[in-house]
């Protein structure tokens, strides 16, 4: 039986005070086409800077360690997990977030609404960003290719089947083989 | 108004209110359904939250940032059972950016306060004793950033007194076992009020009548909710007013608790915001402690004069769990034809932090089995609290699944035959239940038979099902199929209040209620109901969450969103429509100066109707006026007077001057539902689920290749919402049954996998294919004959993997989740 019978008070090892980071860095991030000059601490993640400093709240933190895809952004054309990138590494880089994709009226947005791809919605922006990066590089993905691209995005509500339908539809609209239906709420 | 008209109006109002009262505590079928549906049950109704959520614009509590806001984090226990002997906070307080540290022994923390949960119970918001590793204990550190708060936690000098601990429920029952929580129960690890017994008949008699008696055992590992948004909340004092942001499934109960803090805060001095929630499926919202962070934030905000956001880390979210963990012993008697004569079950379950729930209820609610006895022993060990997590009926569903499939296996029968043989309620057969359906005004349909027919066809049961362990696939794996069933539910006792009104200018309709969104698309559903009841296009109706928990709309607990709120919205819309039609025939703009003729002079309300947001005379549809024209513009300043002293008229009769001539069109309604737990309502709708697996007998790996879910939801209001709950629930169910388990180190009592890398929730590729089938028999107690669906599939499905693996291999696994080592152990290979 697991049992620690020692009732004597024991001291927890105490670590020494951690010095506050001193080496601040200036970075220039181009986010959704807008240039931001920022002073960042070296340990700040890109997700933290986008969400907390630039107010781009669509870049969500779910797992915080690269396991879920909720914080996905497109960095120089590639989908990356912004919780695993340090902002200081991104100096001079182009970054596209969900807000930029929405502003561009990407057909994924309306397809996601139509196919009810969201439930609680917390992970949804990360899915849209990952899907957008997929369609940028592969305008006509097969279902297997969609699954392979999206498998790193976790949805606890289990909305997965709807995403495949929405991504196929958005791809068809982008290729011009399907006409987009008018949406509301773009304000 | 003539006397006759007044009598007519009063009669109509009285009738509608009588209808509303009739459906309280509803035990009968919906007596006043609509004759035709336009938006209810229509596919493709656009989600009202879709654009916000798809574009990242939806705001969650975790997103809230306020000027000057501090971030608060808790000290957590490194040991599974320990007491803080002393705490030195000086080094942490010296860290730049740390603004205050709340200690358990601070004078303002020497209180017991209600901290919400399912109901209110008063406890200390911060203790110095931890009963599990990871428990929030002793100190709450507030700093300029979360990062500084985390650093400060490492600087706390804590002297701990470690106590003996126990993790395993059965070991916790052994004589001399360490006491897991001597503060709660000094006499043992099983308190008398943590035993729940239920049943009917006499199981011994049932066993004596049986041709065959089976005894078996299974265990279920600990799974948890993994809410994507970390638990958090924000408190700001605006002078004497409290402004609060809660991630809370039950915001109205949270507000009730908060109103009792600090000597009492009047309800109308609390502004409580409940934004979208990164779902928690019940989760922390149900804990008695769930507002502990909120309380500490409130105290810290008072001390510092700054808003405070408290947060859990991702790992801290993992310490609470679902209440299906435990060990289960079953004894079943059956006849050779599959008729079950008795079921006796004992479950030893883990840390049920809410009133202990039964495990054999579905044999009572859902079968003809005449002799049933269930006994739940909720043992306390040194792990976190467990609460209903989509939902508390898991164990009932697992029991029914195991009994159905074990009996079928023992008798060489198809499990579907066993289900159909035993379907019924309260010890009576299906004929008895059918008679009750008729008495209560429901259609008399055999829901289980219809579910099974649909599911068998979808999965190809008759072509593919085979005796256990007999079908090897070309890839070398063994093929298995399984089936389970139970009833549908919307269980919660709950109440709902909503307001509804017509906006000036454009005549759009607003439903006012309290948001408690978990993603079920409930708000769109309310709009569909209001639209059809009012005669509106659904696009003109919006559910507006009050920026406060004001109208206490029922929360998504226990699949009860629609079955309670649907009634309230429907009542409100009907009353509002009545109010509009009554106003349409009454004189308008009655002031001291003048009044104006009715919009529909000489008509009675019942001669009018509304369609597409236009009021019209039924006998003469050309006599019409849009609701927008009728209610007029906002902000008008009233009659102006002409140079000769006559009022200048407005609206249809006058000069088009924007003057308000109609009374505000506002109404409200409410609904009360008593819980089915109280034995008040028989359940008529059924669900049946089918699973296909491939099992590798060499590696023990189980692949779920296909799931067919069949839910008789009575009436579908929102197709996409219902289907989303079904296939979404399938993923969660398969995860719980196949990969998800929180693991503790037995030597140290430390949780080993509180993160998403090592606790495996399902991905897109974890189920081959899911087909969701919805049936509509109209046999639900909700409006239009609907029942809930939110929890069903996630709750019923986990156990089905066991029988599926049995059908593949011919051996029974005995524990969940069914990881490869469990399969290999069943095969005698591990």
pLDDT score for B634: 76
User: B352 and B428: one domain?
Assistant: yes
The answer as to whether B283 is a domain residue is yes
Concatenating the DSSP letter of every residue in B690-715 gives EEEEEE-TTT--EEEEEEEEEEE-SS
Residue B261 domain-assigned (yes or no): yes
* Residues making up chain B, counted from first to last: 830
Same domain as A116, residue A56: no
Do B639 and B654 form a contact (C-beta atoms < 8 A)? no
Is the Cα dihedral A167, A173, A179, A182 positive or negative?
Answer: positive
Within 8 A of B275 by CB-CB distance, chain A residues are none
Residue in chain B closest to A153 (alpha carbons) equals B763
Residue with tokens 């490869």: B820
pLDDT higher than 50, residue B107? yes
Which is more confidently placed, B289 or B432? B432
pLDDT-derived band at B379 (thresholds 50, 70, 90) equals very high
Tokens of B722: 């219902």
Mean pLDDT (whole number) for B458-482: 98
Angle between helices B447-459 and B415-422 (to 10 degrees): 170
Q: What's residue A8's pLDDT?
A: 45
- Residue range B206-221, pLDDT digits in tens: 999 999 999 999 999 9
- Give the other-Cβ count within 10 Å of B550's Cβ: 18
Any chain B CB within 8 A of the CB of A122?
Answer: yes
B386 and B483 part of one domain: yes
B85 — pLDDT class (breaks 50, 70, 90): very high
pLDDT digits 0-9 by tens, B589-619: 766 666 778 899 999 999 999 999 999 999 9
Measured at the alpha carbon of residue B360, what is the angle toward residues B355 and B364, in degrees to the nearest 5?
Answer: 110
Please choose, from the candidates B361, B401, B24, B392, the residue with its C-alpha nearest in 3D space to the C-alpha of residue B200. Answer: B361
Q: In this structure, are B442 and B506 located in the same domain?
A: no
Is A183 part of any domain?
no
Residues B629 and B733 in one domain: no
Q: Tens of pLDDT along B133-187? A: 999 999 999 999 999 999 999 999 999 999 999 999 999 999 999 999 999 899 9
**Do B50 and A116 make contact, defined as CB atoms within 8 angstroms?**
yes
**Is residue A70 less than 8 Å (CB to CB) from chain B?**
yes
Predicted confidence band of residue B677 (pLDDT cuts 50, 70, 90): low
Q: What is the domain extent for residue B709?
A: 321-491+675-826
Considering only alpha carbons, which residue of chain A is nearest residue B758?
A: A67
Contact: A12, B764; criterion CB under 8 Å: no
DSSP secondary structure letter of residue A43? T
Coil/strand/helix, residue B420: helix
Where does chain A show beta strands of DSSP type E?
9-11, 25-31, 34-40, 72-75, 78-81, 94-96
pLDDT more than 70, % of chain B: 93
Q: What is the CATH number of the domain that holds A33?
A: 3.10.20.30
Cβ <8 Å between A56 and B226: no
What mean pLDDT do residues A90-116 have?
98
Domain count, chain B: 3
Position A187 scores a pLDDT of: 35
Minimum mean pLDDT range among B245-254, B544-553, B697-706, B709-718: B544-553
| pLDDT tens digits for range A169-181 | 999 999 999 887 6
CA angle B105–B110–B115, rounded 5-degree value: 115
**Per the structure block, which two tokens stand in for B343?**
């079921």
Q: pLDDT: is B19 or B760 the higher one?
A: B760
Contact B56 A20 (CB under 8 A): no
Contacts 24+ apart (CB under 8 A), A178-185: A180/A107, A180/A110, A181/A110, A181/A114, A183/A109, A183/A110, A183/A113, A183/B46, A183/B51, A184/B46, A184/B51, A184/B539, A185/B50, A185/B51
**Residue A68 contacts B where some CB pair is shorter than 8 Å:** yes
- Asked if A180 reaches chain B (Cβ–Cβ under 8 Å), the answer is no
Structural domain ending residue among the three candidates A100, A115, A143: A100
DSSP tag of B780: -
Quote the pTM value. Answer: 0.94
Q: Rounded to an integer, what distance in angstroms lies between the CA atom of residue B796 and that of residue B729?
A: 9
Confidence of residue B19 (pLDDT cuts 50, 70, 90): confident
Q: Is the pLDDT of residue B745 over 60?
A: yes
Phi, psi of B182 (to 5 degrees): -65, -20
Task: Return phi, psi of residue B133, to 5°.
Answer: -65, 130
DSSP H/E element including B397 = helix B394-411
* C-alpha to C-alpha distance for B457 and B454, rounded to whole angstroms: 5
B window 56-95, beta carbon within 8 A of A: 56-60, 62-63, 65, 78-79, 85, 91, 94-95
pLDDT of amino acid A6: 41
Taking contacts as CB-CB distances below 8 angstroms, the residues of chain A near B95 are: 17, 20
In this prediction, residues A60-69 reach a mean pLDDT of 97
Per-residue pLDDT band at A18 (split at 50, 70, 90): low
pLDDT of residue B680: 67
Residue A121 domain-assigned (yes or no): yes
Q: Are residues A125 and A148 in the same domain?
A: yes
Q: Tell me the sheet residues that pair with B334.
A: B212, B340
**Residues in A touching B57 (Cβ below 8 Å):** 57-58, 99, 102
Task: Kindly report, residue by residue over B24-48, the tens digit of the pLDDT.
Answer: 777 789 989 898 999 999 999 999 9
Reported as type and span, the H/E element at residue B53 is helix B50-55
The closest alpha carbon to A30, from A88, A83, A75, belongs to: A75
Q: Are residues B475 and B501 in the same domain?
A: no
Query: Which of A52, A122, A151 is the closest to B60 by Cβ?
Result: A122
pLDDT value at residue B643: 58
Search chain B and give the residue with CA nearest A43. B147
Verify that A118 and A87 share a domain, yes or no. no
Place of tokens 């009963």: B131
Last residue of a domain, one of A42, A65, A100: A100
Per the domain annotation, does B201 fall within a domain? no
Q: A96: which strand partners?
A: A74
Pick the closest to residue B143 from B154, B135, B134, B132 (CA basis).
Answer: B154
Specify whether A95 is located in the same domain as A133: no
Given a contact cutoff of 8 angstroms between Cβ atoms, the answer to whether B164 and B81 are in contact is yes
In a domain, A18, yes or no: no
CB < 8 Å to B225, chain A = 156
Residue B379 to residue B362: CA distance in whole angstroms: 22
- A91 and A128 assigned to the same domain: no
Predicted confidence (pLDDT) at residue A7 exceeds the cutoff of 60: no
Residues 6+ apart with CB under 8 A from A64: A83, B314
- In angstroms, the CA B741 to CA B761 distance is 9
Average pLDDT over residues A114-140: 98
- Whether pLDDT at B470 is above 80: yes
Task: Tell me how far CA of residue B485 lies from CA of B399, B427, B809, in angstroms.
Answer: 11, 17, 22
Taking residues B806-812, what's their average pLDDT?
Answer: 98
Domain final residue, candidates B638, B673, B708? B673
Residue at a domain's end among B259, B283, B317 = B317
B651 confidence band (pLDDT: 50, 70, 90): very low
Q: Return the half-sphere exposure (C-beta side, CA atoms, 13 A cut-off) of residue B118.
A: 16
Confidence of residue B355 (pLDDT cuts 50, 70, 90): confident
Does residue B347 fall inside a structural domain? yes
Do residues A51 and A81 share a domain? Answer: yes
- What CATH code is carried by the domain that includes residue A135? 1.10.150.120
The reply to whether A17 falls in a domain is no
- Domain co-membership, A89 together with A31: yes
Cα–Cα distance between A64 and B59 in angstroms, integer? 19
Round the average pLDDT of chain B to a whole number and report it. Answer: 93
Chain B interface mutation, best of A118, A151, A187, highest count of B Cβ atoms under 10 Å = A118
User: Cβ of B517 under 8 Å from any chain A Cβ?
Assistant: yes
| pLDDT of B641 | 54
Contact A5/B at CB under 8 A: yes
Q: Which residues of B touch A54 (CB under 8 A)?
A: none
Q: Is residue B626 part of a domain?
A: yes
Q: Which of B673, B692, B720 is the last residue of a domain?
A: B673
Residues 533-592 of B with CB under 8 A from A: 539
- B109 and B236: one domain? yes
- Summarize pLDDT for A153-162 with one digit per residue, the tens: 999 999 999 9
Q: How far is A176 from chain B (nearest CA, A)?
A: 22
Q: How far is A64 from chain B (nearest CA, A)?
A: 8
Residue B633: predicted pLDDT: 79
Domain boundary among A85, A100, A115: A100
pLDDT band, residue B644 (cuts 50/70/90): low
CB contact under 8 A, B279 and A160: no
Q: State the CATH number of the domain containing residue B266.
A: 3.90.1170.50
DSSP letter at A53 equals I
For residues B691 and B558, the model is more confident at: B691
**Domain assignment of residue B514, yes or no:** yes
* Closest residue in B to A59 (Cα–Cα): B56
Residues A95, A109 within the same domain:
no
Using a CB-CB distance cutoff of 8 angstroms, which residues of chain B are in contact with residue A108? 54
Helix (H, G, I), strand (E, B) or coil at B470: coil
The closest of B463, B499, B484, B640 to B579, measured between CA atoms, is B499
Q: How far is Cα B397 from Cα B265, in angstroms, rounded to an integer? A: 43
Q: Which of A32-46, A133-147, B659-673, B786-800 has the lowest mean pLDDT?
A: B659-673
- Domain co-membership, B442 together with B343: yes
Over residues B807-815, the mean pLDDT reads 97
Residue B753: predicted pLDDT: 98
Q: Residue A185 above 50 pLDDT? A: no
CB-CB under 8 Å, B49 with A121: yes
Query: Per the CB < 8 Å rule, is B757 touching A65?
Result: yes
| Cα dihedral: B95, B100, B104, B106 (round 10) | 120
Residues A93, A118 within the same domain:
no
Q: Do B55 and A98 touch (CB under 8 A)?
A: yes
- Is B734's pLDDT higher than 90? yes
Tokens of B616: 């019209």
Residues near B40 by beta carbon (within 8 Å), at least 6 away in sequence: B34, B528, B529, B532, B715, B717, B784
Q: Is residue A130, in this structure, part of any structural domain at all?
A: yes
- Cβ–Cβ below 8 Å for A20 and B97: yes
d(CA B30, CA A106): 44
Q: Are residues B548 and B563 in the same domain?
A: yes
B265 shares its domain with B341: no
Domain assignment of residue B216, yes or no: no
Could you tell me if A61 and A34 lie in one domain? yes
Q: Are residues A95 and A111 in the same domain?
A: no
Q: With 60 as the cut, is the pLDDT of residue B698 above it? A: yes
Tell me, yes or no, whether A14 lies in a domain: no
Residue B155: list chain A partners with CB under 8 A. 14-15, 17-18
CB contact under 8 Å between B164 and A43, yes or no, is no
The pLDDT of residue A3:
40
Domain assignment present for residue B800? The answer is yes
Mean pLDDT of chain A: 89
For residue A118, what are the domain limits? 105-175
Residue A9 located in a structural domain:
no
Write down the ipTM of this complex. Answer: 0.95
Contact A185 B761 (CB under 8 A): no
pLDDT tens string B112-138 = 999 987 777 889 999 999 999 999 999
Sheet hosting strand B70-76, strand order edge to edge: B98-103, B136-143, B70-76, B308-311, B232-238, B241-246, B270-273
b (16+ CB within 10 A) / e for B10-35:
eebeeebeeebeebeebeebbeeeee
Which chain B residue shows the shortest CA-CA distance from A162? B724
Residues B444, B527, single domain; the answer is: no
Q: B150 - beta bridge partners?
A: none
| CA neighbor of B325 nearest in space, from B398, B405, B231 | B398
A-B Cβ pairs (cutoff 8 Å, strict): 227
Q: Do B470 and B579 fall within a single domain?
A: no
Residue A84 forms contact with B (CB below 8 Å) = no
Q: What is the mean pLDDT of residues B745-766?
A: 97
Q: What angle do CA B584, B589, B590 make, to 5 degrees?
A: 110
* B71: closest CA of chain A, how far (Å): 13
Tell me, yes or no, whether A119 lies in a domain. Answer: yes
Question: Has residue B435 got a pLDDT over 80?
Answer: yes
Domain total of chain A: 2
Q: How many residues appear in chain A?
A: 187
Q: Are residues B526 and B471 in the same domain?
A: no
Computed from CA positions of residues B752, B755, B757, B758, in that sequence, does the dihedral angle turn out positive or negative? positive
- Residue among A112, A99, A51 nearest B54 (CA): A112
* E strand or H helix that includes residue B815: strand B815-816
Residue A180: the pLDDT is: 79
CATH code (residue B550)? 3.30.365.10
Indicate if A81 and A94 belong to the same structural domain: yes
Decide if A63 and B756 are in contact by the 8 Å CB cutoff: yes
């Amino acid at each position: 039986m697991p049992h620690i019978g020692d009732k004597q008070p024991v001291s927890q090892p105490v670590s020494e005070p951690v010095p506050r980071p001193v080496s601040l860095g200036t970075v220039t991030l181009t986010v959704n086409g807008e240039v931001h000059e920022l002073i960042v601490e070296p340990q700040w993640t890109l997700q933290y800077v986008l969400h907390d400093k630039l107010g781009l709240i669509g870049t969500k933190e779910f797992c915080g360690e690269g396991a879920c895809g909720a914080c996905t952004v497109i960095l120089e054309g590639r989908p990356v997990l912004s919780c695993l990138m340090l902002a200081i590494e991104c100096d001079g880089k182009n970054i596209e977030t969900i807000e930029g994709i929405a502003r561009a009226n990407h057909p994924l947005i309306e397809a996601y609404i139509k196919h009810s791809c969201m439930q609680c919605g917390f992970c949804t922006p990360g899915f849209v960003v990952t899907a957008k990066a997929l369609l940028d590089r592969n305008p006509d993905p097969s279902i297997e290719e969609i699954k392979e691209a999206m498998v790193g995005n976790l949805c606890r509500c289990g909305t997965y089947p709807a995403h495949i339908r929405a991504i196929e539809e958005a791809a068809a609209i982008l290729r011009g083989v399907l006409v987009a239906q008018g949406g509301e709420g773009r304000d | 108004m003539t006397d006759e008209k007044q009598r007519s109006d009063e009669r109509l109002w009285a009738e509608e209110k009588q209808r509303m009262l009739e459906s309280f505590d509803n035990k009968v079928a919906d007596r006043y359904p609509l004759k035709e549906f336009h938006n209810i049950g229509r596919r493709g109704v656009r989600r009202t939250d879709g654009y916000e959520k798809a574009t990242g614009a939806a705001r969650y509590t975790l997103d809230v940032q306020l000027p000057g806001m501090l971030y608060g984090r808790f000290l957590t226990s490194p040991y599974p059972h320990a007491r803080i002997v002393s705490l030195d906070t000086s080094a942490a307080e010296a860290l730049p950016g740390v603004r205050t540290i709340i200690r358990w022994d601070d004078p303002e923390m020497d209180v017991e306060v209600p901290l919400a949960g399912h109901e209110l119970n008063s406890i200390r918001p911060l203790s110095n004793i931890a009963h599990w590793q990871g428990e929030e204990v002793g100190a709450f550190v507030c700093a300029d950033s979360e990062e500084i708060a985390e650093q400060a936690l490492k600087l706390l000098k804590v002297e701990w007194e470690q106590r003996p601990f126990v993790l395993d429920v059965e070991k916790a029952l052994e004589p001399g076992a360490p006491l897991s929580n001597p503060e709660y129960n000094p006499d043992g690890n099983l308190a008398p009020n943590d035993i729940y017994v239920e049943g009917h008949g006499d199981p011994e008699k049932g066993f004596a009548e049986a041709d065959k008696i089976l005894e078996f055992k299974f265990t279920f590992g600990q799974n948890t909710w993994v809410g994507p948004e970390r638990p958090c909340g924000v408190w700001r004092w605006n002078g004497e007013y409290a402004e609060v942001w809660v991630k809370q499934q039950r915001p109205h109960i949270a507000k009730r608790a908060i109103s009792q803090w600090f000597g009492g805060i009047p309800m109308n001095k609390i502004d409580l915001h409940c934004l979208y929630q990164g779902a928690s499926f019940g989760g922390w919202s149900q804990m008695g402690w769930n507002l502990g962070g909120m309380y500490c934030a409130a105290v810290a905000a008072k001390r510092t004069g700054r808003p405070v956001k408290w947060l859990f880390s991702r790992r801290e979210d993992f310490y609470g769990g679902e209440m299906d963990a435990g060990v289960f012993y079953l004894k079943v008697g059956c006849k050779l034809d599959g008729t079950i004569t008795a079921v006796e079950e004992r479950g030893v379950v883990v840390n049920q932090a809410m009133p202990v729930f039964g495990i054999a209820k579905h044999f009572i609610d859902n079968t003809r089995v005449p002799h049933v006895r269930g006994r739940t022993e909720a043992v306390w060990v040194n792990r976190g609290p467990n609460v209903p997590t989509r939902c508390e009926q898991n164990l009932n569903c697992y029991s029914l699944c195991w009994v159905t499939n074990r009996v079928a296996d023992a008798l060489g029968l198809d499990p579907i035959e066993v289900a159909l043989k035993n379907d019924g309620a309260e010890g009576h057969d299906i004929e008895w239940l059918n008679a009750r359906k008729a008495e209560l005004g429901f259609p008399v349909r055999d829901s289980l038979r219809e579910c099974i027919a649909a599911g068998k066809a979808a999965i190809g049961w008759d072509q593919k099902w085979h005796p256990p362990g007999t079908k090897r696939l070309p890839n070398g794996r063994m093929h298995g199929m399984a089936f389970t069933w139970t009833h549908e539910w919307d269980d919660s006792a709950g109440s709902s209040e909503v307001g509804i009104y017509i906006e000036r200018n454009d005549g759009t309709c607003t439903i006012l209620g309290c948001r408690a969104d978990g993603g079920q698309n409930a708000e769109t559903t309310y709009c569909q109901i209001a639209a059809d009841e009012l005669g509106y296009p659904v696009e003109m109706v919006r559910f507006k969450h009050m920026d406060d928990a004001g109208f206490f709309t029922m929360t998504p607990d226990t699949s009860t969103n629609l079955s309670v709120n649907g009634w309230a919205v429907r009542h409100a819309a009907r009353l509002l429509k009545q109010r509009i039609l009554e106003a349409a025939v009454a004189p308008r703009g009655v002031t001291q100066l003048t009044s104006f003729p009715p919009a529909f002079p000489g008509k009675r309300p019942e001669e009018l109707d509304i369609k597409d947001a236009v009021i019209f005379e039924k006998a003469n549809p050309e006599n019409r006026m849009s609701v927008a024209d009728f209610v007029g513009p906002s902000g008008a300043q009233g009659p102006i007077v002409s140079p000769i002293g006559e009022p200048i008229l407005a609206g249809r009769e006058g000069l088009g001057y924007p003057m308000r001539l109609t009374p505000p069109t506002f109404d409200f309604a409410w609904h009360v539902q008593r819980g089915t737990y109280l034995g008040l309502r028989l359940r008529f709708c059924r669900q049946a689920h089918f699973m296909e697996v491939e099992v590798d007998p060499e590696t023990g790996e189980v692949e779920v290749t296909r799931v067919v879910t069949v839910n008789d939801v009575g009436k579908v209001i929102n197709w996409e919402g219902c289907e989303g709950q079904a296939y979404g629930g399938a993923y969660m169910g398969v995860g719980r049954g196949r990969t998800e388990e929180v693991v503790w180190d037995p030597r140290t009592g430390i949780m080993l996998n509180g993160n998403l890398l090592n606790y495996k929730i399902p991905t897109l590729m974890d189920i081959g294919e899911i087909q969701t089938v919805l049936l509509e028999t109209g046999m639900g107690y909700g409006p239009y004959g609907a029942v809930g669906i939110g929890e069903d599939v996630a709750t019923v499905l986990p156990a089905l993997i066991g029988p599926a693996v049995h059908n593949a291999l011919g051996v029974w696994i005995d524990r969940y989740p069914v990881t490869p080592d469990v399969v290999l152990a069943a095969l005698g290979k591990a």
